[in-house]
């Protein structure tokens, strides 16, 4: 399950999360858009993801991650094929917001996390860190390839290639997903069933179970709201940097071509991502301080943004 979730995150990150910045400049030029108009679509997509979060969470609780991930892959594939055909700003907004972005957050961000949390308890922090690292690796592995296609044949061929890859690779991966270990007669972490044992005083000893927190309890905790606020700051600063990175350095002639800019961006984000994952793993072992990882994370993309300004 970890391998399938990681592969889907690599696909979504490389072709969409990190890949959109490769399309930014050629798409803007082809449709005769200024950077403000193109950035608006990206900003609205992030707002859309925030609004759909509670709905996706309800669907994940009711139906499990598999149908959500499968629907997301289909919408992303069809959406990018449609994106290759748009000829005006209205059509671009309709396809990008109504098809592509509508499915990305739920299928490639929320669902893999739910899947991993369901399959692991003791090894949960390690599994989440691996999945998060896979997200960063998607930008390193796939985005440069996408930039080669865009530079050689144009952004429309790049969008079509992304759509085909989503369908050809994503659908088989989704079909391997199983909702929970219990649905296959297994236990989380691959544990063997534990039989009840009799204590010295004749009382039956039951194995310890995972501590569950209700929604109301989570909403009243500082750890929850600290994580929400810190993650919002981190994601806002990160996405603002990522979407404008290649257009900025390309227009300023910092690099010779689009490929070099894409590879440089992925290298910087990989270093920042690896540092972030180490922070996540370190603090995840202490449930009372889990929000610290999100509080530290904004420093990483903020540092890269500062570097760009100084340069």
Q: List, for residues 202-213, the tens digit of each pLDDT value.
A: 555 555 566 677
- Beta-bridge mates of residue 205: 197
Longest dimension (CA), the chain: 80
> Cα-flanking dihedrals φ and ψ of residue 205, to 5°?
-95, 125
For 47-87, how does the pLDDT look when each residue is reduced to its tens digit (9 = 90+)? Answer: 777 788 888 888 888 999 999 999 999 999 999 999 999 99
For 239-263, how does the pLDDT look when each residue is reduced to its tens digit (9 = 90+)? Answer: 666 666 555 555 444 444 444 444 4
- Beta-bridge mates of residue 204: 198
- Beta-bridge mates of residue 198: 204
Q: What percentage of the chain exceeds 90 in pLDDT?
A: 22
Q: Strand, helix or coil at 197?
A: strand
Does the domain spanning 2-186+221-310 belong to CATH 1.20.1250.20? yes
pLDDT at position 301: 38
What does DSSP say about strands 197-198 and 204-205: parallel, antiparallel, or unpaired?
Answer: antiparallel
pLDDT at position 41: 81
- The tally of CA atoms less than 13 A away on the side-chain side of residue 130 is 16
Q: For the chain, what is the mean pLDDT?
A: 75
* pLDDT beyond 80 at 220: yes
The model's pTM: 0.73
Radius of gyration of the chain (CA): 21
- What gap in Å lies between CA 69 and CA 309, rounded to an integer? 38
Closest Cα partner for 269 from 234, 217, 310?
Answer: 234
- What gap in Å lies between CA 44 and CA 144, rounded to an integer? 26
Section 222-236 average pLDDT: 80
Closest Cα partner for 177 from 57, 26, 3?
Answer: 3
Strand locations in the chain (E) = 197-198, 204-205
* pLDDT beyond 70 at 145: yes
pLDDT at position 153: 92
Angle (CA) 55-216-224 rounded to 5° is 80
């Amino acid at each position: 399950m970890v391998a399938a979730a990681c592969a889907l995150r690599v696909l979504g990150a490389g072709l969409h999360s990190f890949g959109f910045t490769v399309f930014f400049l050629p798409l803007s030029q082809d449709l005769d858009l200024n950077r403000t108009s193109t950035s608006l679509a990206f900003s609205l997509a992030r707002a859309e993801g925030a609004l759909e979060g509670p709905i996706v969470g309800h669907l994940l609780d009711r139906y499990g991650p598999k149908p959500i991930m499968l629907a997301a892959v289909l919408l992303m594939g069809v959406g990018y094929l449609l994106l290759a055909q748009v000829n005006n700003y209205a059509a671009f907004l309709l396809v990008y917001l109504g098809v592509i972005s509508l499915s990305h957050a739920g299928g490639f961000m929320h669902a893999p996390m739910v899947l991993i949390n369901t399959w692991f308890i003791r090894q949960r922090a390690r599994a989440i860190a691996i999945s998060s690292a896979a997200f960063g690796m998607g930008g390193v592995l796939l985005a440069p390839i996408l930039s080669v296609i865009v530079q050689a044949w144009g952004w429309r061929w790049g969008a079509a290639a992304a759509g085909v890859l989503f369908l050809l690779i994503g659908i088989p991966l989704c079909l391997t997903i199983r909702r929970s270990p219990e649905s296959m007669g297994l236990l989380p972490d691959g544990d063997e069933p534990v039989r009840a044992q009799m204590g010295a005083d004749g009382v039956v000893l039951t194995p310890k179970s995972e501590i569950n927190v209700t929604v109301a309890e989570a909403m009243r905790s500082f750890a929850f709201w600290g994580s929400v606020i810190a993650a919002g700051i981190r994601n806002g600063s990160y996405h603002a940097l990522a979407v404008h990175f290649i257009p900025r350095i390309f227009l300023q002639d910092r690099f010779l071509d689009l490929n070099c800019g894409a590879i440089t961006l992925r290298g910087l984000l990989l270093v920042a991502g690896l540092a972030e994952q180490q922070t996540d793993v370190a603090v995840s072992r202490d449930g009372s301080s889990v929000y610290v990882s999100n509080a530290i994370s904004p420093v990483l993309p903020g540092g890269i943004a500062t570097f760009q300004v100084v340069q």
